[in-house]
Structure 1
Amino acid sequence: MEQNPKFNKTIANEEELRSIIGFPSELVKRKVITYLDSHCVDFISKSPFLVISTSNNEGYCDVSPRGDAPGFVLVLDEKRLIIPERPGNRRIDSMRNILSNPRVGLLFIIPGMEETLRVNGKATLVKDEEILEKMKVKERKPLLGIGVEVEECFIHCAKAFKRSKLWESNSGASKEFLPVASSILSAHSKISKEDVDDILEESYTKRLY
């Protein structure tokens, strides 16, 4: 495989990009708000899953999933929400990025719903015990929280979900054809698949909270 392949015929500026893509409709231009209204709060309360995008001060990017029971993200007021940080793999990619560059993007997803909610803002790592206490699960508080000061929020259209047929029961591959995570991890880490299976089993059964 060629190393560092170059792309041909690339876009050089926004003017050229607009000549191909065009401009947003009046609805799209007007749909962005700068606070969490009752509709956004309701959406967040029904969402069991989000992805958070971050980058460090050098521009290196990361995107990471977060999930729990619907309503796991705590809305403090119309400008602030907080995401519980449950036990993970301790890479802390998102949190290290936030320490050097607080800008984040969130994408909230509700299973079965094709529209998503996007929230952009400025993040802070929170260790306030009073707040963390409100997000306890099975008598365990989150280790920390990612607090977000909301700067933009808006509904994203359903086209990606419609094209992918993500929520259609027959749209996915049969289970026997799905990638096996432990095989991938074994190949990448050079640790035996049996040991990886044991590590994942222990993590998924004993260290969710």
Structure 2
Amino acid sequence: MARLNSTADLRRIITEPRPATRSKILDALDEQSIEFLKRCPFALVGTTAEDGTIEVSPKGDEPGFIRVEDPKTLLIPERVGNNLAFGLTNVLTNGKIGMIALVPATGETLRISGTAEIYDDADLVASLSSLGKPALLAMRVRIQHCYFHCARSIVRAKLWDPKAWPAPGRISFGKIIAPRIGESAEVAAQIDANVESAYTTRLWQNS
């Protein structure tokens, strides 16, 4: 198997898209995109660090949490989380952003790329409240390109087919963290209990 070293190598295997396919790439949201975002409760947001490292952060909230200011501009609320803030730091570093928005039971996904800025304006974060809780910050995204991705990957994965889902599982953060800080299995169990509490009784509090 040979390694590909150029776009010419790539295009020998994956041919150029048809003009009709390229025509779906827009520079602003259309009516379908806006309606899709009104129903969207979850998105994956990609950013790039100064050293080129790529981070992808999950963002989830009530449907419509990604607010459309206008066809070229989005507002995304920042909620409480793990405080690592990799994505936010990257936005402050270079402002580049890409995202994929998903709607449950819908095969198509919405891809958006552009630039972003972060705001802490009191009125703005209050306007992005959820269940009475204002956003910590607001990210304003200026859209450069957006388009719907076809449903093939979702269909192949059977992502929205409950009959194809594996049994529910849970990651043990305790098993990851405790050995790395020189702690015992008892501390690992305490960490897992704390995580469970964050999912249930402290969903709106910082970890």
User: Please, what TM-score do these two structures have when normalized by structure 2?
Assistant: 0.90
**How many equivalent residue pairs?**
197
Mapped to 2, the partners of 1:111 and 1:97 lie a distance apart of 28
Quote the residue 2:69 is aligned against.
76
Quote the residue 1:147 is aligned against.
140
Q: Look up the SS of the partner of 1:84 in the other structure.
A: strand
1:206 Cα offset (Å): 1.4
1:27 Cα offset (Å): 2.1
The amino acid of 1:187's aligned partner reads K
Quote the residue 1:206 is aligned against.
202
1:83 Cα offset (Å): 0.6
Mapped to 1, the partners of 2:89 and 2:148 lie a distance apart of 28
Quote the residue 2:59 is aligned against.
66
Q: Percent identity?
A: 30
Structure 2: any 5+ residue segments left out of the alignment? none
1:140 to 1:31, Cα distance in 2 relative to 1, 3 A = same
Report Cα offsets for 1:153-184 as digits up to 9, x if no partner.
10001110111011111111123xx3x312xx
Structure 1: any 5+ residue segments left out of the alignment? 1-7
1:20 equivalent in alignment to 2:8: no
Mapped to 1, the partners of 2:176 and 2:195 lie a distance apart of 15
Quote the residue 2:92 is aligned against.
99
Quote the residue 1:49 is aligned against.
42
Mapped to 2, the partners of 1:112 and 1:139 lie a distance apart of 28
Mapped to 2, the partners of 1:24 and 1:109 lie a distance apart of 24
Over aligned residues, Cα RMSD in angstroms? 1.4
Quote the residue 1:194 is aligned against.
189
Q: Look up the SS of the partner of 2:162 in the other structure.
A: coil
Quote the residue 2:171 is aligned against.
181
> Retained in 1: the 8 A contact 2:174–2:192?
no
- The correspondence for 1:131, drawn from 100, 124, 134, is 124
Mapped to 2, the partners of 1:45 and 1:27 lie a distance apart of 27
The amino acid of 1:31's aligned partner reads K
Report Cα offsets for 1:12-44 as digits up to 9, x if no partner.
010111111111122211101101222211110
- The correspondence for 1:108, drawn from 87, 101, 108, is 101
